[in-house]
């Protein structure tokens, strides 16, 4: 009698290292993510068996699962807790990425020390510095704690051995691109090495219910280095941003399985370390005693968080036939559009003036809600007439000169009132500005000319 033999199905022999797309022949460009040079030969793989095995832990009804074991643990850094949705979740793996020198290591060392001071063991694995170098930085920023352990390792096996020995509640790896496994070919930071290191650390974190913070490098275009699979494996992906000439640092969550992704944390990076800023608006508003023409305060939304920022404008008669248009902290093309709207729709002649428009404190404003403040600042500079003190303005300006509604009108008004402002020029909407604080004056406008006639005349 002939016996049935099962044929092992052969898998495609080429796979994209970024997104996992497979093909039967080599191509230079991935057909899924369109990345060049990421398709690699994987060899012929035999499909695994689909036979069922004995169930070790039976499935439970979701109502019977105890969720208290995954409760948030505060880190001691309020701005980080805000971004994460409440704190660290036991067993969660968090990837923190950012450009070199932005302050990733300083932030995580501060988090490690504050978490260790709650009588929790913390293991800080550094592959970029020696233990003595980390100790020097820890002393400078007051991040020395009794339960904080340091390990300078670049071998994955040795790092996992330290985890087995110390059994920390929090593990920090700085960075995931510096560790390598002896069982995988390739140098540290390569696609296969990063994939193996991340998978091994994540498996250990889930098995031990150990919260893990991974530092990730970024490429020239700002994206996270390594395979895109890394972002899919972790639970939270955070981006740490900031300009080199500015002390302000912003932390955003672009992926969060345990909380929102529309909040932002603000930090001040200085010579004494890094500090959370509960009220960073003071960095973006100048402190002049007398009102100056060409300035306007606006309220921008960073996620769900309203922040006050100041827009400044300076106009000077141009000696050239083509005036200069310079911007800092604003989108240059959008500012050019607003200058054209001011001239064509509001009669503000700017074709003979060099215009310089900038923000205070190095903040970048990309939200359309800042259009009205930019237009009012330029018009104020042209008329050489200061805007009223303690005034804010926000709203999107269209090419027809109309002022369009923006999200969070009432939230912006409440934030301005909290910081001592008393007047606001806002776009008209069918829902209105909402409840207005006592003593606060709100003027709704539908067109740019209304705002100009109201404030400048």
Residues 261-317: tens digit of each pLDDT: 888 888 988 888 899 988 887 777 876 777 899 999 999 998 788 999 999 999 999
* Mean pLDDT for the stretch of residues 65-91: 88
- Residue identified by tokens 């807790």 is 81
State residue 6's pLDDT score.
41
**Which amino acids are annotated as binding site for ATP, given as ranges?**
98-105
Q: What is the reported pLDDT for 2?
A: 46
Closest CA to 124 of 103, 144, 102, 98: 144
pTM of the complete model: 0.76
Proportion of the chain above pLDDT 70, given as a percent:
95
Residues 6+ apart with CB under 8 A from 173: 125, 127, 159, 179, 201, 212, 213, 214, 215
How sure is the predictor about 47, in pLDDT bands with cuts at 50, 70 and 90?
Answer: low
Is pLDDT above 50 for 442? yes
Q: Are 408 and 383 within 8 A, CB to CB?
A: no
The tens digit of pLDDT for each residue in 196-234 reads: 999 999 999 999 999 999 999 888 777 787 777 788 889
Confidence check: pLDDT of 378 > 90: yes
DSSP state, residue 241: E
Q: Which pair of tokens denotes residue 447?
A: 């067109």
User: Higher-confidence residue: 168 or 183?
Assistant: 168
pLDDT value, residue 9? 46
Distance CA 437, CA 440 (A): 6
Q: What end-to-end distance do the CA atoms of the chain give, in Å? A: 102
The pLDDT tens digits of the residues spanning 303-356 come to 788 999 999 999 999 998 899 999 999 999 999 999 999 999 999 999 899 999
**Average pLDDT score over the chain:** 88
How far apart CA 86 and CA 76 sit, in angstroms, is 11
Contact present, 359 and 390 (Cβ < 8 Å) = no
Taking residues 160-187, what's their average pLDDT? Answer: 92
Residue 379 CA to residue 346 CA, distance in Å, equals 10
194 close to 232: Cβ distance less than 8 angstroms: no
Binding site, by residue number, is 98-105
Site of tokens 């290591």: 105
- Residue 1 pLDDT exceeds 70: no
The predicted pLDDT at position 3 comes to 45
Hey, what are 58's tokens? 């039976």
- Kindly tell me if the per-residue pLDDT of 260 is higher than 60: yes
H helices present in 273-431, as ranges: 332-346, 371-383, 409-418
What was the pLDDT predicted at 423? 95
Q: Region 174-190: what's the mean pLDDT?
A: 88
pLDDT of residue 246: 77
pLDDT at 19 over 90: no
Contacts of 50 (CB under 8 A, 6+ apart): none
Helix-helix angle 104-116:131-140, to 10 degrees: 80
**Beta partners for 155?**
180
Q: How confident is the model at residue 7 (pLDDT cuts 50, 70, 90)?
A: very low
CB 24 within 8 A of CB 13: yes
Q: What angle do CA 230, 188, 182 make, to 5 degrees?
A: 100
């Amino acid at each position: 009698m002939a016996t049935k033999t099962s044929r092992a199905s052969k898998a495609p022999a080429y796979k994209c290292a970024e997104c996992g797309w497979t093909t039967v022949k080599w191509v230079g460009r991935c057909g899924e993510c369109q990345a060049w040079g990421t398709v690699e030969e994987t060899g012929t793989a035999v499909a695994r068996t689909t036979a069922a095995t004995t169930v070790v832990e039976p499935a439970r009804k979701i109502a019977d699962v105890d969720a208290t074991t995954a409760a948030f643990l505060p880190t001691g850094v309020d701005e980080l807790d805000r971004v994460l949705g409440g704190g660290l979740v036991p067993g969660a793996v968090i990837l923190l990425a950012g450009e070199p020198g932005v302050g990733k290591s300083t932030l995580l060392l501060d988090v490690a020390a504050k978490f260790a001071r709650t009588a929790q063991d913390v293991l800080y694995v550094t592959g970029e510095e020696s233990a003595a170098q980390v100790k020097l930085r820890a002393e400078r920023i007051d991040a020395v704690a009794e339960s904080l352990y340091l390990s300078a390792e670049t071998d994955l096996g040795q790092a996992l051995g330290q985890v087995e020995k110390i059994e920390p509640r929090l593990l920090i790896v700085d960075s995931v691109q510096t560790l390598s496994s002896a069982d995988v070919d390739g140098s540290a930071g390569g696609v296969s090495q990063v994939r193996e290191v991340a998978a091994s650390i994540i498996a250990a974190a889930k098995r031990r219910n150990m919260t893990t913070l991974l530092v990730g490098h970024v490429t020239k275009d700002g994206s996270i280095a390594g395979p895109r699979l890394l972002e899919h494996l972790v639970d939270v992906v955070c981006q740490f941003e900031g300009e080199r000439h500015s002390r302000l640092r912003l932390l955003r969550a672009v992926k969060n399985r345990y909380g929102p992704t529309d909040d932002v944390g603000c930090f001040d990076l200085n010579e004494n370390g890094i500090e959370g800023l509960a009220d960073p608006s003071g960095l973006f508003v100048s402190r002049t005693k007398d009102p100056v023409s060409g300035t306007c305060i606006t309220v921008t939304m960073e996620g769900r968080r309203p922040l006050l920022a100041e827009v400044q404008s300076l106009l000077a008669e141009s000696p050239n036939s083509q005036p200069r248009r310079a911007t800092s902290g604003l989108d240059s093309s959008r500012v050019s559009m607003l200058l054209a709207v001011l001239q064509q729709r509001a009669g503000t002649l700017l074709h003979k003036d060099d215009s310089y428009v900038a923000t205070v404190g190095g903040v970048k404003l990309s939200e359309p809600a800042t259009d009205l403040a930019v237009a009012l600042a330029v018009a104020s500079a042209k008329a050489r007439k200061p805007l009223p003190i303690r005034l804010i303005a926000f709203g999107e300006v269209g090419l027809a000169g109309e002022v369009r509604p923006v999200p969070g009108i009432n939230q912006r008004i409440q934030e301005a009132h909290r910081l001592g402002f008393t007047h606001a020029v806002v776009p008209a909407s069918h829902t209105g500005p909402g409840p207005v604080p006592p003593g606060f004056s709100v003027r709704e406008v539908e067109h740019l000319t209304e705002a100009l006639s109201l404030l400048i005349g």
